[in-house]
Amino acid sequence: MNERVELVRLTIVPNEIEAEQIRSLLRFEGIESMHRLTDFGSGSIDAGTSGVGAREILVKQEDLEAARAIVEGG
């Protein structure tokens, strides 16, 4: 049976490089994550179509608190 996993937004970063850095930290701590383009706060008409720009990092709901602690350095 396929169980649907609910993902929640951990944070938004300006670009893919920063997204991958955060994902690497999370992965090191055993937390799965993904990132995707977002137009949140971009102010750009073509946001999300160029492949460049702000990314939102998503984690499982049950990992959110631990992931926040990692990202915030606490």
For residue 16, give every residue at least 6 positions away whose Cβ sits within 8 Å of its Cβ, in sequence order, or none.
Answer: 35, 52, 55
Inside any domain, residue 1: no
Dihedral sign for Cα 42, 50, 18, 12, please.
Answer: positive
- 16: nearest Cα among 8, 5, 27, 24: 24
Reading the chain (74 residues) residue by residue, the pLDDT tens digits are: 567 889 999 999 999 999 999 999 999 999 999 999 987 655 554 544 556 789 999 999 999 999 999 999 86
pTM score above 0.85: no
- Whether 2 is covered by a domain: the verdict is no
**Terminus-to-terminus CA distance in the chain, angstroms?**
37
In a domain, 25, yes or no: yes
What residue numbers bound the domain in which 53 lies? Answer: 7-71
